[in-house]
């Protein structure tokens, strides 16, 4: 059985989301498109970040992908949920480090700052990179427990 990955976007990330869903299908994943179904300039990013973050938080899926103009709004919403570690990645290197060192389980792409081709490269790197574990485990536990020191 292939891995289910929820994918959501707002109007700024709509075109990139369509490509992400198609690419995940091509790679053998089972993308679940939480919307929007059509381009709507009046939509609100929290409406699409919430179902992805909730599913990851509850453990219904292991990973999710979000995209909006800067990626920031989606990350703000997603990171409010327990056990969600949403990372805005604008390069494959950032995506790799987010996975390897922080076990990022939600990838957030800034659609206004990456091309669709760059978005595909970032997605591939994030999907293909495993969590390194080791010294990073205690840090991830601190994030998830809300005990990181200021």
Q: Where are the alpha helices (DSSP H) in 9-115?
A: 14-26, 46-58, 72-78, 92-102
Residue 44 gets the label, from left (phi > 0), alpha (psi -120 to 50) or beta, of beta
Task: Please name which of 88, 93, 95 lies closest in space to residue 111, comparing C-alpha atoms.
Answer: 88
Interval 71-117: pLDDT, tens? 999 999 999 999 999 999 999 999 999 999 999 999 999 999 999 99
What pLDDT is attached to residue 75? 98
Contact 48, 9 (CB under 8 A): yes
Domains and their CATH numbers in the chain = 4-145 (3.40.1400.10)
| Catalytic positions, written as ranges | 68, 101
How many other C-beta atoms are found inside a 10 Å radius of the C-beta of residue 86?
A: 27
Note the pLDDT tens digit of each residue in 14-56: 999 999 999 999 999 999 999 999 999 999 999 999 999 999 9
At 105-147, the pLDDT tens digits run 999 999 999 999 999 999 999 999 999 999 999 999 998 887 5
């Amino acid at each position: 059985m292939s891995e289910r990955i929820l994918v959501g976007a707002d109007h700024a990330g709509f075109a990139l989301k369509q490509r992400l869903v198609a690419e995940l299908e091509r790679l053998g994943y089972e993308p679940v498109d939480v919307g929007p179904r059509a381009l709507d300039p009046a939509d609100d990013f929290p409406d699409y970040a919430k179902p992805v973050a909730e599913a990851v938080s509850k453990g219904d899926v292991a990973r999710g992908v979000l995209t909006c103009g800067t990626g920031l709004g989606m990350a703000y919403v997603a990171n409010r949920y327990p056990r969600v570690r949403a990372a805005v990645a604008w390069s494959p290197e950032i995506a790799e480090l987010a996975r390897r060192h922080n076990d990022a389980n939600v990838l957030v792409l800034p659609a206004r700052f990456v091309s669709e081709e760059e978005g595909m490269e970032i997605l591939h790197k994030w999907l293909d990179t495993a969590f390194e574990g080791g010294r990073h485990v205690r840090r991830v536990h601190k994030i998830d427990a809300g005990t990181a020191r200021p």
